[in-house]
Homo-oligomer: A and B are copies of this chain.
């Protein structure tokens, strides 16, 4: 079961077509003129022999991999579908390939990141597995990177694409307070150190304070932006004998919101009559949850697309150090009490 007993190489093609390998290479890469006569002959020979250039050999000789990498913490979230979509579309249009790898801070000690300068031409970094110091040294070495949903370390102008979190969260929480009269709003945060989560928490805190409410740390739970974790966290909270009173849940993202709904549902708590629930992202299913989920619409596919385009910009030597923050928008549905 060896890979290919004998594969046709550029030399075979050259011999068959009666030209040098250099000419074949030039024809393939279209980086130098080739007479039309030879070009036609090569076209024929190549398809007849089913020649496919050996990627590793090209990579080695050209110092390019034609691959870009997407580094994520994990793949446990429907959020990644639009992101991947945006990324993959651009990558494919450019004739590149996409390596998807997961790498998180906790697996960091053992090994170096699975993808980097040795096997990609550039990286989209979502993961927190690459610490600031790693980013700095990679950036210093000139390796193209774009950060996604994460801002660059100080004095390290790596381009970045993310979405507006703070204001929109403030507005959302304020909506719960002012429109629906909520006073005891639970916050289900995401992974510690995840920037979106931190920002959303900041927005949450400042909205409470701005409205004369104090922050009760007992009302901040860990949902990890994951359906199951959020579900467990809510269950534990609700099952606890000394249950703390609450009248709303601001969930850090839509996926976790599903877990919250499930838990509340199982405890017989009515939404939104007893408790308001909101999410973040406006994933495709959000309008069809029971009840329809009030959430924040984040242009995730656009984020993926723009980030990837900017990465290709770097590859083509159009430097950039901008932090792009795409606008978000609250979508009011029934789960908060509206309608």
Is A77 an interface residue, CB under 8 A from the partner?
A: yes
Q: A1-B315, A78-B284 are in contact. List 9 more A-B contacts (CB 8 A).
A: A3-B121, A56-B60, A88-B101, A88-B102, A92-B114, A97-B115, A255-B284, A285-B285, A289-B290
Known: A53-B118, A55-B118, A85-B76. A142 touches B5 (CB 8 A): yes
A3 to B138, CA, bound (A): 10
A56 to B98, CA, bound (A): 16
A117 contacts B78, C-beta separation under 8 Å: no
Is A190 an interface residue, CB under 8 A from the partner?
A: no
A1 contacts B56, C-beta separation under 8 Å: no
A275 to B319, CA, bound (A): 56
CB-defined contacts of A85 to chain B, threshold 8 Å: 75-76
> Per DSSP, are chain A's interface residues mostly helix, strand or loop, or mixed?
loop
0/1 string, A1-42, CB within 8 A of B gives 1: 111110100000000000000000000000000000000000
Known: A85-B76, A100-B84. A60 touches B52 (CB 8 A): no
CB-defined contacts of A191 to chain B, threshold 8 Å: none
A262 to B75, CA, bound (A): 27
Copies of this polypeptide in the complex? 2
Is A332 an interface residue, CB under 8 A from the partner?
A: no
A53 to B114, CA, bound (A): 12
Is A237 an interface residue, CB under 8 A from the partner?
A: no
Chain A: number of interface residues, binned into ranges = 35 or more
0/1 string, A73-117, CB within 8 A of B gives 1: 001111011001100100010000111111000000000101111
A144 to B1, CA, bound (A): 8
Is A227 an interface residue, CB under 8 A from the partner?
A: yes
Partner of A75 from the list B64, B81, B143 (CB cut-off 8 Å) is B81
CB-defined contacts of A255 to chain B, threshold 8 Å: 284
Query: Looking across the interface, which residue of chain B has its beta carbon closest to that of A77?
Result: B81
Is A63 an interface residue, CB under 8 A from the partner?
A: yes
